[in-house]
Amino acid sequence: MASISIQTENEIQLSFDEEDAGKRVDKALSDILPDVSRATIQHWIKDGCVLLEGRPCKPRDAVSVAQSIHIDVPKVKPLAVSAEKISLDIIYEDDSLLVLNKPAGLVVHPGAGNNRGTLLNGLLAYHAPLELIARGGIVHRLDKLTSGLMVVAKTEAARQRLIEQLSERSVKREYQALVYGSLVAGGTIREPIGRHYKDRKKMAVRPDGKPAITHYRIGKKFRTTTLLKVSLETGRTHQIRVHLSHKGLPLVGDPVYGKRLHLPTGADEALKESMRTFRRQALHARALGLIHPATGEQLSWEVTMPADMQALCDLLQADAGTLSTL
């Protein structure tokens, strides 16, 4: 294996040996530096931070015995986001990561019109070192009006490994989705997703979009709605909402991809009022499973449905009488 002569926070210098000869530069470096993802190394090379024998190189360049390489490790810029004390429902935490249950209504990242009061503001107040980790350690997000489980990396090495798991589709995510429509069986939706043709704030199924795969099965059947168990292979923006709407199964309460309120014929006033006032997509990230980025242990977590969604399902169940439950 290569001989490392310098390795600091901002600089790495090494020379290759017989074991590395013939490998691509990015592959050789990812083997030598296990705490740095290959994607990150490729970004360093692209940005000119990696010099092979004193010259910029390309990821595919092959290395030779005794060649030297110098890396100026880019510094992570502190986030321009203020810490703000926000109540966080932490489900699990260790030195590498934390898992939390995000409530509906909480924005994940600051943006136009949401500079404060976001999950990231709260995370920085809870654990200040996240300021020095890219994106504050957040490796995936949930829509503002979606509730449920999220994982946050507490170290840069953990962040990179979790991103790799997401790209390799080894992170297991299961959602509960209450949709309009009656189903007799589950299925899989394989439709590419991209920006909406006219509304840039929306996503849509379109042939030139990115591949997206959503699996769904029946959880509970009500009279005019169905509670689905949904799992993802990919993580496109608004994927569940777009795919189910495209399938003719829009989420109850979805303000963007939903449809007009449809009340079951003969429903009582309590159910009518609950459906009228449920003004967010009925979507909850119930379960999360992943490989621990430091120990390699397989971990999983589950959280119950939030009170507003549970109350609506209880009323739908009472309205439907006897249900078919899996």
Task: List pLDDT tens digits, range 128-183.
Answer: 999 888 889 999 999 999 999 999 999 988 998 898 899 888 999 999 999 999 89
Instruction: Say yes or no: 245 and 291 in one domain.
Output: yes
Do 278 and 213 fall into the same domain? Answer: yes
Instruction: Find how far residue 156's CA is from the centre of its chain.
Output: 16
Last residue of some domain: 168, 199, 225?
168
Same domain, 90 and 177: no
The one catalytic residue in 26, 143, 254, 319 is: 143
171-201 pLDDT tens trace: 999 999 999 998 989 999 999 999 998 887 8
Average pLDDT over residues 220-241: 95
Q: What phi and psi, each to the nearest 5 degrees, are found at residue 196? A: -60, 145
| Cβ–Cβ < 8 Å for 109, 138 | yes
DSSP 78: P
Give me the long-range contacts of 2-11 (CB less than 8 A, separation at least 24).
Answer: 2/28, 2/32, 4/32, 8/73, 9/73, 10/72, 10/73, 10/75, 11/70, 11/71, 11/72, 11/73
Residues 175 and 156 in one domain: no
pLDDT in tens, 76-111: 776 778 899 999 999 999 999 999 999 999 999 887
Q: Are 108 and 135 part of one and the same domain?
A: yes
Side chain identity at residue 102, one-letter code: K
Task: Please say which residue of 30, 57, 72 terminates a domain.
Answer: 72
**CATH code, 64:** 3.10.290.10
Q: What is the pLDDT of residue 326?
A: 34
143 is catalytic: yes
What domain range includes position 235?
A: 170-326
% of residues, the chain, pLDDT over 70? 95
Residue 113 — very low, low, confident or very high, per pLDDT cuts 50/70/90?
A: low
Does 318 lie in the same domain as 176? yes
* 136 and 130 Cβ atoms separated by less than 8 Å: yes
Type of residue at 105: G
Closest CA to 312 of 264, 275, 281, 280: 275
The CATH number covering residue 121 comes to 3.30.2350.10
pLDDT of 55 over the 80 cut:
yes
Write the single-letter amino acid at 125: A
138 beta partners = 152
Looking at residues 48-76, what average pLDDT do you find? 89
100 plus 123 within the same structural domain: yes
Whether 130 and 275 share a structural domain? no
User: Are residues 127 and 154 located together in one domain of the fold?
Assistant: yes
Are 284 and 187 found together in one domain? yes
Same-domain pairing of 250 and 176: yes
In the predicted model, what is the mean pLDDT of the chain? 90
Is the pLDDT assigned to residue 284 strictly greater than 80?
A: yes
Domain identity same for 270 and 183 = yes
Domain total in the chain: 3
How much is the pLDDT for 2?
66
